[in-house]
Amino acid sequence: MSTLRKDGRLQSSVTITNPYTGVKEKKYVYGYSEEEIQAEKKRLIREIDTLFLIDMSFKTWCEEFIRMKYEENLEYTTIENYEYNINKYILPQIPKNLTVSGVAIYHVKNILRNIKGQRTKQLVYTILNGIFNAAKREQLIEKNPCKYILKPKYNPNKAKIIVPNMYLTLMHTIQGTQLQYLYTFAWGTGMRRGEISALRWCDFDEVNGTITIEHAAKRTKKRGEYIGKPKSHTSERKLKLSPSTVRNLQLWKEVLKEILYEAKIAWDDKGYIFRSTKWPDKKLPIGTITNTFGKLRIKLGFPKGVRFHSFRPTNATILAEHNINPKKIQLWLGHSSAAFSLNQYVHATQTMQIGISDAIEAEEISYEQLFKQSTNIN
């Protein structure tokens, strides 16, 4: 029922539930007739999303942004990474009730200024840029404040490689264990630890000597370890294994069958290739892969920075030493570009210099002969 105001207008109210917070709020409407009042109420209900978006706090918008990412079926690892960085670095620097449109350039600068590491600083900038781009699409803001701030630079160091003498020492130490077959496989394929952990025997084609990579083990704080898709669409691939890598898997298969037989576990072609040492019916966890190699590194005195992941750049470097085309190296490793494979994974070695001086010498002789010929003609 409407009430008459002193200014001659009618006043009424409508209770609306905020679709983003679930909180009920009373909104007042005004008009000079009941028809105008009812029309205004209908407008409020019709434009409910926009109504609350305009007044939405930055914190609430961040929650909405995360919800949108879940709807986009983004990887859980990526979403949890977003949540972690938003809660740790972004929200503590923004006033609690500040609206999205109220966040200014100096707020963003202040957030970045309070982060020490360049890698984290660049990541937080990327997240903020995504948050404001989404807000712009929803017409919450006219301009993205990140567009007026230079993106922080971060140049990652090349991952260290496992040189031949390290590899031999490593293999001598782990001889006769599952690690012998695991590390030999990693050396021969350069696959990521998550890809290796998720491999099943049905992914291995013994006849054609191939391994198909369609899954990867991942881990988040909320979900723990789970099997998901590989890192990117270029990571889904089929590798033609070397004869020695095929033989390595065949030998491990025989050893594993004996282990399972003793544990009274039936063989299954859908079973995982590499297993937990405690529970042979389960896969080898990615955390165990990392931690086991870390302990061996310390025991054997390998340089800091050498880790299980080092098998990837080691494999890439071996391929480059044998003059394998950069595009082939990219596809083999499942990278998004050949430039990334070369810049971040391939290390310069003495082997790569073999033939360079001979090639230059041949060119110099050729040019010298051409010079003599041109001189004789003149």
Q: Looking at the structure, do residues 306 and 363 belong to the same domain, yes or no? A: no
Q: Looking at the structure, do residues 179 and 130 belong to the same domain, yes or no? A: no
> Are 67 and 52 a contacting pair, CB within 8 Å?
no
E strand residue ranges, 6-77 = 10-17, 24-31
Q: Which residue segment(s) compose the domain that 126 sits in?
A: 58-148
Q: Is the pTM of this model over 0.85?
A: no
DSSP output for 260-306: HHHTT----TTSBSSB-SS-TTSBPPHHHHHHHHHHHHHHHTPPTT-
CA distance 91 to 85: 9
Tell me 342's DSSP state.
I
Determine how many CB atoms are found less than 10 A away from the CB of residue 286. 21
Note the pLDDT of residue 358: 63
Identify whether 155 is part of a domain: no
* Unique residue bearing structure tokens 């988040």: 220
Tens digit of each residue's pLDDT (9 = 90 or more) over 152-211? 998 877 778 999 899 999 999 999 999 999 999 999 999 999 999 999 999 999 999 999
Q: Looking at the structure, do residues 370 and 255 belong to the same domain, yes or no? A: no
Identify whether 254 is part of a domain: yes
Note the pLDDT of residue 363: 57
Identify whether 154 is part of a domain: no
Token digits of residue 53: 């978006």
* Contacts for 191 with CB less than 8 Å, ≥ 6 apart: 185, 213, 239, 312
Q: Looking at the structure, do residues 210 and 232 belong to the same domain, yes or no? A: yes
Q: Looking at the structure, do residues 194 and 238 belong to the same domain, yes or no? A: yes
pLDDT of 49 strictly over 60: no
**Domain count within the chain:** 4
Note the pLDDT of residue 75: 84
Find the range with the poorest average confidence among 18-32, 221-235, 325-339.
18-32
DSSP output for 126-193: HHHHHHHHHHHHTTS-SS-GGGGSPPPP--PPPPP---HHHHHHHHHHHTTSHHHHHHHHHHHH---H
Q: Judging by DSSP bridges, how do beta strands 10-17 and 204-205 pair with one another?
A: unpaired
Q: Looking at the structure, do residues 374 and 341 belong to the same domain, yes or no? A: no
Identify whether 172 is part of a domain: yes
Tens digit of each residue's pLDDT (9 = 90 or more) over 129-155? 999 999 999 888 889 999 999 999 988
Identify whether 17 is part of a domain: yes
Identify whether 101 is part of a domain: yes
Q: Looking at the structure, do residues 124 and 213 belong to the same domain, yes or no? A: no
Q: Looking at the structure, do residues 189 and 223 belong to the same domain, yes or no? A: yes
Looking at residue 216, which CATH number applies to its domain?
1.10.443.10
CA distance 243 to 184: 12
**Dihedrals φ, ψ of 323, to 5°?**
60, 35
pLDDT of 311 strictly over 90: yes
Identify whether 158 is part of a domain: no
Q: Looking at the structure, do residues 224 and 98 belong to the same domain, yes or no? A: no
Find the range with the poorest average confidence among 3-17, 139-153, 289-303, 338-352.
338-352
Q: Looking at the structure, do residues 127 and 63 belong to the same domain, yes or no? A: yes
| Mean pLDDT in residue range 352-366 | 58
Identify whether 200 is part of a domain: yes
Looking at residue 102, which CATH number applies to its domain?
1.10.150.130
Q: Looking at the structure, do residues 224 and 291 belong to the same domain, yes or no? A: yes
Share of the chain residues as helix, strand and coil, in percent rounded to the nearest 5: 55, 10, 30
pLDDT of 251 strictly over 60: yes
367 vs 127, higher pLDDT = 127
Note the pLDDT of residue 10: 85
Note the pLDDT of residue 298: 97
* Unique residue bearing structure tokens 């596809």: 331
Give 41's pLDDT tier (boundaries 50, 70, 90).
Answer: confident
Note the pLDDT of residue 114: 95
